[in-house]
Each structure stands twice: as structure tokens, then as C-alpha cells.
Structure 1
């Protein structure tokens, strides 16, 4: 397996990438800060990206992309390819997603755009105090390992629903690449090895430990072939029997038993919960976006997933707020642009925390989620941005609030993956799937890992005043998500422009917003946008990718009152863009992703 060398963007690329964004004319708007090369990097090289004519698939692992390509070449649809990709990812990227987790899939068939919701649900036996012990909320690390946080997995049932609507090849055919790899083995990558070495809990699991680790507790070496006969058998059953093979019978019983039998942190999942799970078909959340400040304006339609995902709302808010500020005239290498962006992010995350949750349990403000992204509301929010950082922004009031936000810290995680596909008929999808934290609940059953998705709920049901929190735990509820699979269309022609998304916990919102802003506002290719340094705010400190910003850039932000933290912001962006001469793709060099096609 070819290993990607991490690269950074050259200064010249930054200049050419922002050629559509003229410098601001106001005093103090000039940049002057450059991005620095990470220590140990061999040189400053720009990723060239991928180009093709007929179809394309972008995933987080080369073997998964190969499986998607095989299906597309065999006459499969975008949904067919995504199913094959997800089954392979269950095997080769077990830290990130799989049949033990959940997903959102956004699909366009040339006429309509639809959302398939495969988000996990809370068991019927839970209550609002699931994560309260001795009168206090548990820490994330106390809650994550074991059965307590395992939700009903939704990915397989959701993919079956999508296949019924848009599949072309037989369901069983789509499992063949993953079954073959599971039986023959796949080589451990450097990324998987490093995550296995860093994890303190997975080696203790009676199934996962012997599979991933040597007897001395060290991970199996890079390049070691891992074979997974148990997973091959499960996939063969699902291929033959459909999703009921996972949700009923002995496989479901094995999942339930494992959740209940954890010695330190058992959960409440039942066979009835498994059998009752239903994926949902939803309407996408779409908004018009016409970047201002460009020399050649163009109008787009950006479509994403509505609640229980918060991604589309937060991204639309950030882009809309920036459009009402001086940021529209600024380049990326200007610290003032970053000031505007992170202030917009604080405003968006304040609203996200207060209002967004499962719509079957929590009503949208003013009766519609569109109230949070209306132009008048975003213009009002933009006026709160001043020359100094707010540090913590207040939520807005599109209607009198009935719920309050949680103070639970957002998590940086690795347990998510993104897939973008365009097929030979022009059908396009963006799908983000997850088991939440890296390696999920650290419980392996029949060769696959279980999710810890319930930790995406607020751990406390009420705030300090006793008011209920929108994203509190409730039976059957879907936890709020940050997953942001996105499709972009040209508003004039209605044609597809781009499919994209990323893993990364709450930072998914910022990684995806970076992709959209850099391609739509500055004219970057998907790969150029992906290669840019990462950044954001979760309504607290300003977060910058470690070793990617110069001291002068950081000091400029601190002079505006920002508390800056430089972190390892490991995105996993995947994107495919349609142009006049075919498709251009991009995969994140921070992970193992690959774009393939013809």
C-alpha cells in the first residue's frame, strides 16, 4: 500500500488561489503574515489533485476507493459504489466507521436531492440521567468505553433503503470486495498502527485485543496482513439476507450481549431496539449562496443534512455571516479574515448548542430551521462582530428560546469517514459515516466495532437554571451530529458543482466550510482547498492547525483578543468537483484518502 507523505501548500499557491479576492481597502486590512512549513517536512509541495471524465469516487482509504471504482466500472450507481466502499472501510479503517455505526447520505439523481438518515438511536430503556453518576456528569473518557454509550447502529439499514431507491447492481454483488479482502487480508497502514499504539483501551477487549495486538500489547506491525473471517461471515450473511441479518437473530443477540456484559460500563441496548430501528428519508436543507467581493459573481445552491445533524445549519450561518462582513474582500493569508471567520463560527456554534437536536423531539425555532439561516437573521448576527474577539458568543433569538445550551466540551475525534461519488449517469452523493470516537466503544463483535454514539448527547439534561437542554438523552432519540455531507449546485443551470465532506467531530463543520469557502469564493481546486491549513472555533478558543501558521499570524489574532490554541487538526476531507472538462477530485493528505475514477 502506498503511503501518502503529508504536504503543505506553497506561498505561491495561496496567492494564486485567492486571485479572485481583492485586498481590502480599509486601514489595517492588509495581510503580511505567511504560513510556515511544519518541522521535518521535506519541502513545500502542492497536491496536484485528480482529473477524470466519466465517474469518480473519493474515500478515506485506497482499498475502499478501489472497491468503489470496481463497482462503478461494473455499471453500478453512486449508491452501489458507496455501499461497497462502506463495507471495505468497516474492515480497513475500523477506527472510523463501519456496520456498527451510523451515517448520513445526501443523494442527487439529476432531478431531486434527498437525505437518507442512518443516525444511531438511543435504546428505549435509557433516561436523561444516563451519563450522571453520584449526582455529576461523567467525563467523556469515563462514558465512552463499554456498553453505556452504544446506540442502535443505522448504517446498514440506511444503505439498504438507499439501494432500494437508487441501486442498479444486485445488493449481494456490492459485498464481494469487502468479503474477499476480509478473507485474504489487508496490510496494516501506518495511520492505523499509530492509532492502535496510542489507544489505551482497545487492547483490553477480548476480541479486538488479539486481533489488533501482539501478546506483548504492541500493535501488529505496519504491513502485517490482517484477516477477519468473522467479519467476512457477517458480510456474507447481510449480502444474502439483507439488513435483517444484522438487526435480528444471532448477530443482533451477540451485539446486545456484548453491550450488557461489559464488566465496568454496561449498556441498555435490547433486541427490541435492534429490530425496531428505522432509517429515515428526509428533505435536504438547501440555501442559496452568492459570494460577494468576487470579480465574477456566481450563485450556488448548497444542500446538506438537516437536524439531527447540525452541520448544514452551522455552515450556512458561517458563510452567510461572512458575506455580510469585510471578510468577503480579504485573502486567506490575512489574519483579519481569520478574525472574521472565527467570530462567525462562535455565533454559529452558540446557536447550534442552544437550538439544534433531533427534530422528532425538539421543535425548530420559529417553526422552521430556515429561521436560523435567513438573510435578515444572519445580517443581524454579523453586526455583533467587532474589531476584538467575543471569545464566547451568545446565541441569537430567532424566536423566544425554550431550551438552553450545554456546556459539555466538544470532542476532537477520529471515528468518522467521508465518501463522495459521482457515477456514469451523473448521480452524485456525499456520505459521512461514523462510530464516533476512534475505535468507538472499544468493543468488537463478530469482527466489527460498536459505536459510542450516545456520547454525542449532552451529559446533563438541564443547565444551571434547571432549563432543559435540547440535545439531552431521551429514549429513541438521535444524538445531534456535526456530520456535513454536502452537495453544491449551480443556481442558474441546476447542474452539480461539487460533492464533499470530512470527518473530525465538531470540527467537521469547519473543515467542510473551508472547502466550500476556498472553492466558491477564491476559485481553488478541491485539492488546493483541502491542503490549506485548518482552523476554527467551537465558541471558545481560536483553533489553528499546529505548525501551519507563522508567529506573526498568531500574534495578530492575539492582538484582537483571541485565545489561540495550536492543535493537530486532522481533517479527512474528500471532494469531487464537476467542471467543463470533467471531474476534479481532492483527498486529504493528512489521512490516507484517494480519489479514483475514469
Structure 2
């Protein structure tokens, strides 16, 4: 499998460097009139970044860096940074290209969480661009006539699962606060690539083929992903003029061009008329959507503060809990090959996920013990449970300090892997970490105006109560579903030292926590930390990454008392270490790169 992954990456290099791609790459980065020498140099630079990832070597730079899930998107951001733009400017360019070339994972029809370090003020800010439940949605939206939860994909595919998109509003808000470049120019590369076409990557072609049946259910989606009834092929040039027109509307009118007018009308019509599974999204929902600034959640680990997005994300809280419980254990001395190391990490994760399932949801709708969950005294108390000989037989939520007496039942919502992560450091010292999604791969499978719509409402619990006790993450009108997205900035002595995040559903939390431990405790560089084989335990079963050294730990984990599930663990970690120089890493499990100067 390792050989296959490397072969897949080399195929990506070939696809992206094929005839036509050199010109695409150069056009997206260089000013008009670039010489042939400039074109060749830029292409060599991009291929060097891909080779660095394949060889497990971090990319180094002096001034700025961007790491994201597709070379074309990274080059779009690099163009902005090279011209003096901010990390917020570059993020807009990266996101609009990702929505074109990696449409299964994120886009204008989805939502995102953004963590920002401002070099001028030294402040951390988090912006919540999560989708919201329509005002016409009811708590029993995903239950049948007998009050039983729908099967997951019966709820996902179609209009019923679509929440109000937040990404376009988030792009505009980030640019309003921290942008330096003119807004219209941030869409240039996305528009050009959509009009002229881009080469379908191996990953996109594979995912389309694997999901062909669901993609075929709706005519607009089928026409784009299954032309003439056949799945898109690797290396095929794909154009999306409808997406180009949507980007032009955003460039000219800002987010208002998305949340009102023809695009908004088309979104509503697509959702409400979806054959077999219509939804309830309305024009009012789109018109009312707002990005929310929230307080960052930070947890102490060693000499660091690990900071990220608070509720409705469970990411920063759960990552913080895992690390906080491990703070008193000398993982550095144990090392990454010790079974005791993985017993402790796995059990800390199980305890954190128990709290996540009980307490974490949109804090605008339900009271949450946010501070109590990452209080060092509480985590030290929870860590005492780790002093056991083998795997814990019973894992239950704890009792963090809570100024509210409401009782919550445990959640049972699903959150399947998809999503994308962007890490950027600009030449001014600003740092951005943003995780962005349409939830499940290809979202609701509904497409309009060149982009896919999310299925984010299925991140809510399908049940409203358990044994008469309400579930915190139940669906309510206007509410934002709980997420595991964990965009993270690690601070030390008041300065950022690491930006990191990943896709992967609820396993995001384990991917990010493992990588921070590898970097902080085992003296690994960012590429080594990202590439380290995954072992993830959320609910008692230890997922171990197949065809890696992790799979060799299976017997020992079983002896300790864990159930073990060898499987693919397709993270998409993108990280930048910030020191005297910048050091970037991209996950070999996907197609992204890190690039800087």
C-alpha cells in the first residue's frame, strides 16, 4: 500500500506537470508576460514541493508559506503571497480553487472554521463560518414516521441534509478584517481555471468512480461528474463555466452576490425540488446568515498553548483534553514505538470523546461547560483513570465544573471523513489555520451554479432524546451542528510556533493530537509528524493504519485489551512550523503540497 501511495503521488506529479499544466501553473503565479524561463522555474518549484513530500522532507522558506490539498490551489495562494497579499487574501484564492479542483471536500456550498494570529496585535481570533439549520427544520427532520432515525445515506443524499452555506460569508469577513489585496483579484485564478479547464487529479477520478451511483441521481451533478454516463478520468481536462460565473458574481458583488439574487434562488430551488428527498432551506435562511467571532479555546501542553475553535466545533476542546490528560506523562521518554505510549494516547482519546458525546454542541443553543472541560485540575483528575494495567473496561463522561444543572444524554451522530485543511503564514507574520468542508464526500450530491451543496445537517444527532433526556447536539432551527474540525495554532511565549489541521471526520481530532505529540515530544519535524502512521481510538476500537508500521502494533494492542481495526486512515494534514524560518509539511495520503519563498 505504501508503494501504491507513492505511485499515486507520482501520477499526480505527472498529471499536474503534463502538457498544458506548466502554462496553467505559470499563469496562476506569474505576472502577464512571464518569460519561458520563469514558466520553467515555477513548474520546477511545484514539482520539487511534491518530491519533498514523497521523500518525507519538509519544505523550507524565509518569508511566507502555504500548505493545502491541491497544487493548483497552493499556487493560487502563492501568487497572492508573492505579490504582498496577506494570509487572509491567499486563503480566499486557495479556497475558491479548491472548490473547483477538489469539489468533493469543500467549496462555496459548505462551511469552515478559521483561526487567525494577528502579528500586529498579537491576538488570536476564531471565526465560525459553520452552516446553520434552516428555520423550517424540525428536531425530528431525520426520523421516519415511527420516530426512528433514518439510515445515514437516506438522509444525506438530496435536499433534506443541506444547511445554510457559510464559506462565502467567511471569505468576505476574513478579507474585510485582514485583507491587503483587492478583493476581485483573489478570484482570478479560480475563474481562469474554471473557464479554461484543469486536469482531473487521480484522487478526484477515483472518488467519482467510487460514488458514481449517488452522483448519478441528480441531472446537474451527473452531467458534470459523469459526462456521457461515464465517470471523469484522470488527466481529463474539465471545465466549469457555471462556477466561473459564480466566482465573477462574488468578485463583483461580494458575498451579497451569493446570499441574494439568482444564485440564492437557484440554491433554494435545487434544495426544495430535489427528487425523492427535498429539503427546507429558504431564501430567508440565506439572507440571515452571519459569521460569528468566538473566543479561542486553548489548552496547556508542555510549554505550549494549543489553541483552536470552540463550540460548535468539538475540535479544540477534544484535542485539548487529550493533550491535557497526557501532560503529566513522559511521552518523550517512552517514544513512539512504546505500547504504553499508545495505550495512554488511546485511553485519553476515549475519555475525551466520552465528554464530547455528552456535552459538546452549539453553545448558542445549549449551555456548555467549555472552560471546565479544559481546566487543568479536571484533566488531571481524568488522567488518574489512565493509571491502569490494560484497556479500560468502562469509559464514561466526567463531571467538569459547570454553572448549569441541565442533564444531557450521549450523542450518536455520525461524521464521515471528507473536508480539507489550509495552513498559511504570510510575510507580515500573520498565521491562518482553516478547516473547510461540505461534510461527506460530494456533500448532498446536489449541484447548482457549478458547486456542490453540503450535507451538514447530518452532523446533528438524528435522535432528539435518549431515555427522556435531551441530546445537546439535536437539530434545532438556526443551530449549527457540532463538528470535529480542528484548525489549530500552537503558541509558545505568546508567539505562534505551529499551524496545523486535517480533514477526516471525527478522526481529525486523533490525527491532529498525534501530530502535535510527535512534533512536541518526539522531536519530529512537521513532515515526519504528519507522515507518522496513524493509530486512532475514539470509542474503544483502535483504528490502525494498514500497510504501515502501525499495523504491526495490532497484536500488542489486542493483548492490552483493545479491539483493533486495520484500515485506511486518509488524513490530509497540512502544517507549518514557525521559527527563524518556516518549515512546511503536506500529507502523503493526499495530493497537497507546501510551498514558500
Report the TM-score, using the length of structure 2 for normalisation: 0.89
Q: Alpha-carbon deviation of 1:328? A: 5.3
Please state whether the residue corresponding to 1:207 is helix, strand or coil. Answer: helix
Q: Could you give the per-residue CA deviations for residues 181-227 of structure 1, whole angstroms, max 9, x where no partner exists?
A: 00010101110011001002012221121111132x33121101110
Aligned to 2:107: 98
Q: Alpha-carbon deviation of 1:390? A: 2.1
Q: Alpha-carbon deviation of 1:579? A: 2.3
Q: Alpha-carbon deviation of 1:407? A: 4.9
Q: Alpha-carbon deviation of 1:126? A: 0.9
Q: Compared with structure 1, are the counterparts of its residues 542 and 105 closer, same or farther at alpha carbon in structure 2 (3 Å cutoff)?
A: same
Q: Does 1:243 align with 2:252?
A: no
For structure 1, list consecutive stretches of 5 or more residues without a partner in the other structure. 6-43, 291-298
CA distance in 2, matches of 1:177, 1:325: 48
CA distance in 2, matches of 1:195, 1:280: 33
Q: Alpha-carbon deviation of 1:383? A: 1.2
Aligned to 1:55: 64
CA distance in 1, matches of 2:540, 2:332: 23
Aligned to 1:13: none
Contact 2:312 2:362 in 1 (8 A): yes
Q: Alpha-carbon deviation of 1:46? A: 4.7
Aligned length: 543
Please state whether the residue corresponding to 1:159 is helix, strand or coil. Answer: helix
Q: Alpha-carbon deviation of 1:488? A: 1.1
Q: How does 1:159-174 map to 2 (within 5 A)?
A: 159-174=171-186
Consecutive aligned runs of 4 or more in structure 1 exceeding 2 Å deviation: 324-329, 399-412, 549-552
Q: How does 1:247-266 map to 2 (within 5 A)?
A: 247-266=259-278
Q: Alpha-carbon deviation of 1:496? A: 1.8
- For the aligned residue pairs, the C-alpha RMSD in angstroms reads 1.6
Q: Could you give the per-residue CA deviations for residues 514-561 of structure 1, whole angstroms, max 9, x where no partner exists?
A: 121111111111100011111212223111111224665211111111
Q: Alpha-carbon deviation of 1:403? A: 3.7
Report the TM-score, using the length of structure 1 for normalisation: 0.88
Q: Alpha-carbon deviation of 1:4? A: 5.9
Of 352, 357, 373, 1:353 maps to 357
Q: Could you give the per-residue CA deviations for residues 137-186 of structure 1, whole angstroms, max 9, x where no partner exists?
A: 01211111000010000011011111111000111110111001000101
Q: Alpha-carbon deviation of 1:281? A: 1.2
Q: How does 1:526-541 map to 2 (within 5 A)?
A: 526-541=526-541
Q: How does 1:193-592 map to 2 (within 5 A)?
A: 193-199=205-211, 200-215=213-228, 217-290=229-302, 299-325=303-329, 327=331, 329-365=333-369, 369-385=370-386, 386-390=388-392, 393-399=395-401, 402-408=406-412, 410-414=414-418, 416-463=419-466, 465-491=467-493, 494-549=494-549, 553-580=553-580, 582-592=581-591
Q: Does 1:116 align with 2:127?
A: yes
Aligned to 1:87: 96
Q: Alpha-carbon deviation of 1:327? A: 4.2
Please state whether the residue corresponding to 1:48 is helix, strand or coil. Answer: coil
Please state whether the residue corresponding to 1:498 is helix, strand or coil. Answer: strand
CA distance in 1, matches of 2:497, 2:543: 29
Please state whether the residue corresponding to 2:569 is helix, strand or coil. Answer: coil
Q: Could you give the per-residue CA deviations for residues 45-82 of structure 1, whole angstroms, max 9, x where no partner exists?
A: 75112011010000000000000000001111000000
Q: Alpha-carbon deviation of 1:406? A: 3.7
Q: Compared with structure 1, are the counterparts of its residues 213 and 334 closer, same or farther at alpha carbon in structure 2 (3 Å cutoff)?
A: same
Q: Could you give the per-residue CA deviations for residues 469-514 of structure 1, whole angstroms, max 9, x where no partner exists?
A: 00000000000010000011212xx222011100000011011111
Contact 1:541 1:562 in 2 (8 A): yes
CA distance in 2, matches of 1:185, 1:2: 19
Q: Alpha-carbon deviation of 1:404? A: 2.8
